[in-house]
Amino acid sequence: MLNKLEQKFDLNLTAHYLFKDIVKYTVIIVAIAWILHVLGINLESIIISLGVVGIVIGFASQDIVSNFISGIFVISDKRIKVGEVIEVNGFKGTIKKVGFRNTTMINQDNYEITIPNSVLSKNIYKMYKPREDHRLRILATLPHGMNIPEFKKELDRIMYGYDWVINDKTTLFSKDYTEWGPKVEVSYWITDYKYIDCGKITILENINRLIDEYKKNG
């Protein structure tokens, strides 16, 4: 039924999951109210008698309420959607489900990670856009005496051989000089966020290879 409604009203996956949550909680509340009514239990008297208990439970369930309210803000913000790639508190993955209490994402190792919505509302998070350029920055310490311009030229030649590297957007800055040699920052722009992690590894591998060749040949 939900799938038919989704097709009819052109709902996206985020709205689909939210609609399922709304239906679920509504059904639970209505079912409880109906059962109490059938048993002849007066809801008003229960609400009054449980007033003090409700206060105690309220303090005990602050996190639940906080996550629920945060979920409303996350949903209304409309930036966090199913299929987006985000990174928060060191966790990175593709959003699988956005609920009122939690947001679920899948990381690169195919593990499912559940993030309380209060974490999303209280912390800075990164969003990776698949069709936008992204910059990779790598710090490296070069050996003493290594020609930095020649190193950059050779590294560019290697990196430009990858179709996900943008050829005209690369930089190299000298950051510091240490007892082991000059420390530089190398940056390359890539065409797709999916190459972010493997791209950093590729750059580091090529840097280390050039350093090893320099040490070997002098």
| Residue 8, pLDDT above cutoff 50 | no
144-171 as b/e: b if 16+ CB within 10 A: eeeeeeebbebbbebbeebebbeeeebe
Is there a single domain that holds both residue 142 and residue 113? no
Give residue 82's pLDDT. Answer: 80
Average pLDDT (99-105) is 82
Is there a single domain that holds both residue 25 and residue 106? yes
Is there a single domain that holds both residue 146 and residue 179? yes
Whole-angstrom distance, CA of residue 86 vs CA of residue 64: 23
CA angle 200, 203, 208 (to 5 degrees): 125
Q: How many domains does the chain have?
A: 2
Contacts with 190 (C-beta within 8 Å, 6 or more apart), sequence order: 133, 134, 135, 136, 164, 165, 166, 196, 199
Whole-angstrom distance, CA of residue 15 vs CA of residue 167: 40
Is there a single domain that holds both residue 148 and residue 55? no
The CATH number given to whatever domain includes residue 202 is 3.30.70.100
Is there a single domain that holds both residue 187 and residue 153? yes
Whole-angstrom distance, CA of residue 23 vs CA of residue 164: 44
Whole-angstrom distance, CA of residue 72 vs CA of residue 110: 27
Q: Which whole-number Å values give the CA distances from 62 to 48, 50, 56, 74, 187, in the listed order?
A: 21, 18, 10, 18, 45
The CATH number given to whatever domain includes residue 94 is 2.30.30.60
Is there a single domain that holds both residue 110 and residue 148? no
Helix 51-60 × helix 62-77 angle, to 10°: 70
| Residue 216, pLDDT above cutoff 60 | yes
Count of CA atoms in the C-beta half-sphere (13 A) of 7: 3
Is there a single domain that holds both residue 8 and residue 114? yes
Tokens of residue 51, six digits: 């007033």
Whole-angstrom distance, CA of residue 178 vs CA of residue 149: 18
- Which of 128, 159, 188 is the last residue before a domain boundary? 128
Q: Which residue type does 94 have?
A: T
Is there a single domain that holds both residue 115 and residue 39? yes
- Which of 128, 158, 180 is the last residue before a domain boundary? 128
Query: With bands split at pLDDT 50, 70 and 90, how would you rate the model's confidence at 157?
Result: very high
Residue span of the structural domain in which 153 resides: 134-217
Give residue 211's pLDDT. Answer: 92
Whole-angstrom distance, CA of residue 158 vs CA of residue 203: 9
Average pLDDT (171-200) is 85
| Residue range 22-66, pLDDT digits in tens | 677 677 777 877 787 677 666 666 555 555 555 445 544 556 666
